[in-house]
Structure 1
Amino acid sequence: MSSASLYAPFVTAGEGGKNRLVLSIEGVHCPACIQKIESAIVTEPDVTEARLNYTTKRLNIIWNGAADRADGFIARINGLGYKARPFEAAKAEATDSEYAKFLRLCLGVSGFASGNIMLLSFALWMTTTQQMGIMTRELFHLISALIAVPTVFFSGRPFFRSAYAVLSKGRTNMDVPISLGILLATGMSLFEMFRGAEHVFFDSAVMLIFFLLIGRYLDFLALANARRAAGDLVSMMSGTATVLEGDIQRPVLIRDLREGMVVLVGVGERIPADATVIDGASDIDTSPVTGESLPVHVKVGEALYSGTINMAAPLKIRILRAAENSLLADVIRMMEKAEQGQAKYVRIADRAARMYTPVVHVLAASTFVYWLLLAHLPWEQALMIAVTVLIITCPCALGLAVPVVQMLAVGRLMKKGVMVKTGDALERLSGIDTVMLDKTGTLTVGEPRLLDNAAGTGLKLAASLAAHSKHPLSRAIVHAYEGQLFPLSVNEVQGHGLESVHEGKRVRLGSRAWCGDTSAPDSADTLELWLDVEGAAPIRFGFADPLRADTQSVIGSLKANGFRIVLASGDRESAVREVASKLGIAEWHAGMKPANKFALLDTLKGQGRKVLMVGDGLNDAPVLAGAYVSASPASGLDIARNAADLVYTGDKFAPVLLAHKVAKFSQRLVVQNFALAILYNVFAVPMAMAGYVTPLVAAIAMSSSSVIVIANAFRLRTIL
């Protein structure tokens, strides 16, 4: 390793002599940026992989060779007009926070300026110089300039900085024509003001910045949510584990754990890496990985997965795979792969913007050339007509086409208990043809409930014992009993249950075998506890994880609408089969780990399916991130809620169906709004190119088109 290398310390050594570097990249705005950066790095000698995640803005580079090549990779990326630095979670979070504040400040200033300039502009548009007086008109122009010019240079910085960065490297991006249009409109308005012209267009420049910043800020929030989901997983792999070396205990970073190390895992701690038990026995909460609601009892020789939680007793475990190759690391990689795929989705608004910007600039340039070279007008007049073309196409109606519908839809859904987290979630939801469902916590309530026929004899005594345990079945018994409990001194026997003495008799609450009912049928797939009172016959308490109240009707409605329904659960086969049978779901899969679910999603995608995934656990997170669109109940894990596009509250499943209904109608309104905006431009642009448009006509046309678009969007209220 070269001592002169600045970035070699950030390189991670992998298997087979390969090195890995993770970089944070600033300035990435579109898939073209991704392709540009990946192509530049992957063509470097001995580089085997270069993958840039659009959501997290992180670039993974894997290569054969010296670690000090990291400096060259960073220099190469910086040379393309982007800013690269080694990824550090704390710095990345701080950078996100600062950029969010920056965008909010720019947005606030441009919004304030837009409102004030429009007040002045309406007065200017609705009167002539003779009516207003030349001195008053020039004063209004000056006030508009004093508001607009500082606003343009302050709030336009997100676009100007991006445009300058790529232009300085001899390249271009979408922010270049945007910046050109803003500066040209502002510059011509200043020119017209100083020469005493009747009309200026400061309002258009500021309004354009305001609308563009709304879109950029919403995009940033959506990406920040997705980055937070990946960050939740990364945080699980941060921290330390207690490694045993003989009788000595020492803390070791989880990312530095290697195969063969012996680790002590205390009660309540996560299993840091895939391992096997070498000493002790305990109950493990596997729900983050498998989705199964009940803890699994493990003993010496049994395997454990990273991310699961030790619930009952300390364990000594031997690491089977390094942390970077564990199940949790696999989930992180699947999340990044899923988010990379989602970055390829192009929203209808973005598709319109990609066509809109070059078409408008070509029309404006053609107009200038025509009036200057063919009509022989002075360059000032030719340029003014060209700028008028830019102004008349000010994307007010186009900019409102999507946001107005989205804001109304999101607001109404919020009142119904559905939070829409990403700007394009409803657009994607409107196009689904397949619904992939988790079972536990999604179709069901996610926790066992005591069956009605179990209540009665012995319930008070069972609840008095169960109150001393955190086991889900014990909690269900306590929840079912509402009276006063017996004061008992209870011992917990690992792997068996709870034991105490009541009225001089030994009492137990636990497994069938431990409580002495050897004649009972095998119940390995049954949720049950047994109460054994010395000298009396054991009493069985049965449990079930019930379906949400409206699950059956919602599944019926989805099937009636022609959706393909797929049930994918990490739970036991018998439990999944029972739920599928009740709901009439023919396509179901049980015992699925995160990789299995992700592979199933890939299969559905390969068939051309647009999948809505609904899930609530860590094992669902990669599929939630990779699905065409996704939803999670508010009761789900943080990682699932952060990965999902929609989060719904309450104990019912109906919000999923409601969200789809709203999404379909919203998309219809969006398409109609675009049609109205395009129709406006079809009439307005030729008039502007011909030089017939006055500011009054422009004001009436732009205002009318915006009002029509907004009024059409309010039709959404009729279905909610």
Structure 2
Amino acid sequence: MPTSDAFVPTTAKVVTLSAPTIRCGGCVAAIERALASIPDVDSARVNLTMRRISLTPAGGAADLSTVFAELERIGHPATPIDATEVAAEIEDKTAQALLRAVAVAGFGTMNVMLLSVAVWSGASGATRDTFHIISGLIAVPIVVYAGRFFFTSAWSALRRGRMNMDVPIALAIALATGLSLFETARGGEQVFFDAAVTLTFFLLIGRYLDHRMRDRARSAMTGLSRLAMRKAVVVAPSGSLRDIPVDQVVPGMMLRIAAGERIPVDVRIVAGTTDLDRALVTGESRPVLVCAGCEVEAGALNLTGPVDAVALRPVSDSFLARMMGMLATAEEGRGRYVRIADRAARFYAPVIHLLALATFVGWLSLTGDWQRAAFVAISVLIVTCPCALALAVPVAHVVAAGRLMADGILMKDGSALERLAGVDHVAWDKTGTLTTGDPTITSLPELDPTSELAVAALAARSAHPAARCIASRLASLGNAAVDVLESPGLGIEGVTAGRRARLGRASWVAEIATGPADGEGPAFAFEGGEMVRFPLSEKLRDGAPEAFEELARMNLPVEILSGDEPGAVGRIAGRLSFVQARAAMSPSDKIARLQVLRAEGHRVLMVGDGLNDTAALATAHVSMSPASASDAGRAAADLVFLRDDLRAVPQAIAVARRTSRIVRQNFGLAILYNCIAVPLAVAGLVTPLIAAIAMSASSLAVVANSLRLNRRDAQAPAPTVSHFEEAAA
């Protein structure tokens, strides 16, 4: 039955802004520097691929006028958008405009090239000058119209005193066109109209393909966006129905969800029975029956009948919105590779212009031909554009996030992917992580009425799986305990029937009672009384043996860090391979063990779920938690896997390692390109046309290499989910 346990934890209030002018790492750095100087902003992260800004206002303040003014000042005007919005309409219009510009530039290129062929074939005198004039009449409007993407972006940056990657491109096109007009006016023999329009044509092809490939990179986000409802049907107290925008739904509203519609926000069913497609959460397309009392996530598809449900959360805090938020953070984390790329992109533009100026001066001093010097300098401006370097990390990370999303794994921090790739040791909690978290009592001990009342009262006040199991086997006796205090990893104590009592780990209960401190199962006792034991049996989560075998094939040592008794831990360890087990560990013991492993040079992945694992999850190099974990456990973890299958853990590691390889390859491609292309351009061996083709090809190579992450590796663990794409369709 669906429950709220599957929900991802809410983080601090985050405002999402759309800034379509974000184009490169320099834009990212400029925006983050500008917003960091605003007192009303606690933090800000820019997503290059999605062209979004995620910021946390100081103290939850809603007045962002200063932010909008600052973004306008630096040339990146932004508008607030809903967390579930992908702005597909804007992206489609941009793609259509780019495609039209490509067509116009291609038409102009063909005509100007035909005229150039005539000049190259030997036309001279008045005939040559006429061909130059006709070429100029064709080329200038083509360059102005088709090149406006580069000119407007470059001018927007320059008039605010900064650089972006379109500045050298616009400068190169403008110089080639201006130099050609000058030569035409004075009757010169050489003009570069063909280079200017061809350069614009190939740059636009590269920009359009880059745009389309970025669309593919953010396909997971787009798929989630398609699951979001734009309107909801509200049931008034009188029984009448009315449609309202989904962002106006507030907790407590009664909603009517018809068959064939998706759940607009997180809800609790109050009337009606239906089948739901919850593939987004479970990975299974098999319908799930829900009825009154069931809690259901936003995005689930109602298949068979209308239901009435009460809204639990606003759309901005719904399960679907939080999934999209976690997916968007894939690019916003600042790991080592991201910082390297950002730093390089920030200083790249000034270096490019200095190199082009030095090239111009050098060729001018060597040849005395300023036209030749300008021609070579233009090639240098084009060939050294930092597009490939700026895309090296973010595109790989956003594609990896989409791959993990399809496998039911969400990242809460983009840098977690980089840390996960470097793990060399895996530590697991047992109860609720390796096991289902729903133990069963093998035999209920005989209890007198007073003890039964006390056990039920204490068990009802604890969220521990063992306590819930005990509470479910006892009659509902109300809450008769006072001064209740739960000690993570130990148990719960309180005063009931006028006596102090404890329920939890036997060694802890033995501190106030008589009886053996060892043995299996939780214990209960009144202070000074005899302990009674509740023997429990546990079930392994799906995929646990396969996950441990896969981790062994990946040469990752595995150990269990559990607070349970040695016997219970030993039985679970005996059912798994390649594992060491440590039992009776308190939360501080787990932290101490992780610190020992860190001191030995290990980078540990901690997988846990409970309140007592929170500190260990935060201490580890990187951490994962199942979606059924406690709120504190999910909040502390870097990654959350939505399915019960534990093969999600080696899957995530495999994707992280592959992403790390892809990022290094992208850096290698960008560096190799520059090492070859820059010297050739400075030596005058690269024309502006060849430079444009090479620069566009380098960017596309990086994006295409990153998209390889979407392919499933034949050696990778089997996926836990195969229906995400169906749910997003």
Using the size of structure 2 for normalisation, the TM-score is: 0.51
Supply the distance in 1 between the matched residues of 2:324 and 2:686 (Cα, whole angstroms): 52
**Contact kept? 2:229, 2:246, Cα under 8 Å:** yes
Distance 1:337 1:249, change over 3 A: same
SS in 1 for 2:235: strand
Q: Secondary structure at the match of 2:19?
A: strand
Counterpart of 1:450 in structure 2 is: none
Q: 1:374-453 to 2 correspondence within 5 Å?
A: 381=368, 383-391=370-378, 393=380
Residue pairs, 1:182-201, within 5 angstroms: 182-201=173-192
Match of 2:27 in 1: 33
Secondary structure of 2:78's counterpart equals strand
Distance 1:226 1:561 in 2: 28
Q: Determine whether 1:256 maps to 2:253.
A: no
Decide whether the 8 Å contact of 1:58 with 1:87 is kept in 2.
no
2:679 maps to which of 677, 682, 690: 682
- Indicate which of 78, 83, 101 corresponds to 1:84: 78
Q: Does residue 271 of the first structure (1) align with residue 268 of the second (2)?
A: no
Partner of residue 153 from structure 1, selected from 123, 144, 151: 144
Q: Does 1:106 align with 2:101?
A: yes
Instruction: Tell me the residue number matched to 2:51.
Output: 57
Structure 2 partner of 1:205: 196
CA contact 1:361–1:390 (8 Å) conserved in 2: no
Q: Which has the higher contact order (CA 8 A, sep 6+)?
A: 2
| Residue deviations 1:337-376 (CA, integer Å, cap 9, x gap) | 235359997799999998986555434422544577xx59
Distance 1:44 1:672, change over 3 A: closer
Q: Distance in 2 between matches of 1:157 and 1:50?
A: 30
Rounded Cα–Cα distance in structure 1 between residues aligned with 2:667 and 2:296: 50
Identity of aligned pairs, percent?
35
Give the AA of the match of 2:370: L
Query: 1:162 Cα deviation (Å)?
Result: 0.9
Q: Give the deviation of 1:670 after TM superposition.
A: 11
> 2:385 and 2:189 mapped to 1: Cα distance?
27
**Residues 623-638 of structure 1: pairs in structure 2 closer than 5 A:** none
Tell me how far apart the structure 1 counterparts of residues 233 and 302 of structure 2 sit (CA, whole Å): 13
Paired residues for 1:166-315 under 5 Å = 166-225=157-216, 229-230=220-221, 232-234=223-225, 236-245=228-237, 247-315=239-307
Kindly provide the amino acid, as one letter, of the partner of residue 96 in structure 2.
K
> Higher mean Cα deviation, 386-395 or 200-209?
386-395
In 2, Cα distance between equivalents of 1:399 and 1:68: 36
Aligned-pair CA distance for 1:113: 3.1
SS at match of 2:135: helix
Instruction: Look up the equivalent residue of 1:215 and give its one-letter code.
Output: G
Task: Give the counterpart of 2:67 among 70, 73, 95.
Answer: 73
Could you tell me how far apart the structure 2 residues matched to 1:218 and 1:322 are?
A: 38
Alignment of 1:510-659 (within 5 A): none
Deviation at 1:674, TM superposition (A): 7.9
SS of equivalent to 1:306: coil
Cα distance change of structure 1 residues 205 and 273 upon mapping to structure 2, 3 Å threshold: same
Corresponding letter in the other structure for 1:386 = A
| Structure 1 residues 75 and 137: CA distance shift in structure 2, 3 A | same
Mapped partners of 1:390, 1:396: distance in 2: 10
Cα distance in 1 between the residues matched to 2:285 and 2:114: 60
- Report how many residues are paired: 504
Counterparts of 2:579 and 2:165, CA distance in 1: 47
Residue 327 of structure 2 is aligned to residue 340 of structure 1? no
Query: Aligned partner of 2:79: which letter?
Result: R
Aligned counterpart in structure 2 of residue 97 of structure 1, from 86, 92, 95:
92
Aligned equivalents of 2:171, 2:240: Cα separation in 1: 66
Distance 1:200 1:344, change over 3 A: farther
> Which AA in structure 1 matches 2:69?
A
Q: 1:349 to 1:265 in 2, by over 3 A?
A: closer
Indicate whether 1:320 and 2:312 are aligned.
Answer: yes
In structure 2, relative to structure 1, the CA distance for the partners of 1:98 and 1:85 (3 Å cut) is: same
Does 172-181 or 273-282 show the bigger shift?
273-282
Contact 2:26 2:346 in 1 (8 A): no
Aligned to 2:408: none
CA contact (8 A) 1:274 1:303 kept: yes
* Runs of 5+ consecutive residues of structure 1 not aligned to the other structure: 1-14, 403-427, 435-524, 526-544, 546-551, 566-580, 593-598, 612-625, 628-656, 689-696
2: distance between equivalents of 1:119 and 1:563? 63
**Per-residue displacement from partner, 1:58-97 (whole Å, max 9, x unpaired)?**
4455546998944443333212222333448999444333
> 3-state DSSP class of the match of 1:220?
helix
Q: Is the 8 A contact 1:241 1:272 kept in 2?
A: no
- Residue identity opposite 1:318 in structure 2: V
Distance, in Å, in 1 between the alignment partners of 2:354 and 2:677 is 18
C-alpha displacement of 1:264: 3.7
Deviations 1:153-194 (A, max 9, x none): 222111110111122223332222222222122222222333
Give the C-alpha shift of residue 666 in structure 1.
14
Opposite residue 27 of structure 1, the aligned amino acid is: T
Q: Distance in 1 between matches of 2:341 and 2:43?
A: 32
What amino acid is aligned across from residue 222 of structure 1 in structure 2?
A: M
Q: Deviations over 1:297-345 (max 9, x none)?
A: 3344333322223444444433333333222221122122235359997
| Cross-structure match for 1:459 | none
Following TM superposition, by how much is the alpha carbon of 1:152 offset from its aligned partner in structure 2, in angstroms? 2.0
1:196-244 residue CA offsets vs partner (Å, 9 max, x unmatched) = 3332333333333233222322232234456665455445242113335
Give the Cα–Cα distance (whole angstroms) in 1 for the partners of residues 384 and 70 of structure 2: 41
The separation in 1 between residues aligned to 2:40 and 2:350, in whole angstroms, is 39
Question: How far, CA to CA, are the matches of 1:51 and 1:371 in structure 2?
Answer: 43
Letter in 2 for 1:100: A
The alpha carbon displacement at 1:22 in A equals 4.7
Query: Which residue of 2 is the match for residue 444 of structure 1?
Result: none
Deviates more, 1:173-182 or 1:222-231: 222-231
SS in 1 for 2:79: strand
Distance in 2 of aligned mates of 1:397 and 1:79: 28
- SS of 1:245's equivalent? coil
Secondary structure at 1:198's aligned position in 2?
coil
Shift of 1:387: 0.4
Q: Secondary structure at the match of 2:179?
A: helix
- 1:153 & 1:211 partners in 2: Cα distance? 15
TM-score (ref. length: structure 1): 0.51
Give the 3 Å change call, closer, same or farther, for CA 118–71 of structure 1 in structure 2: same
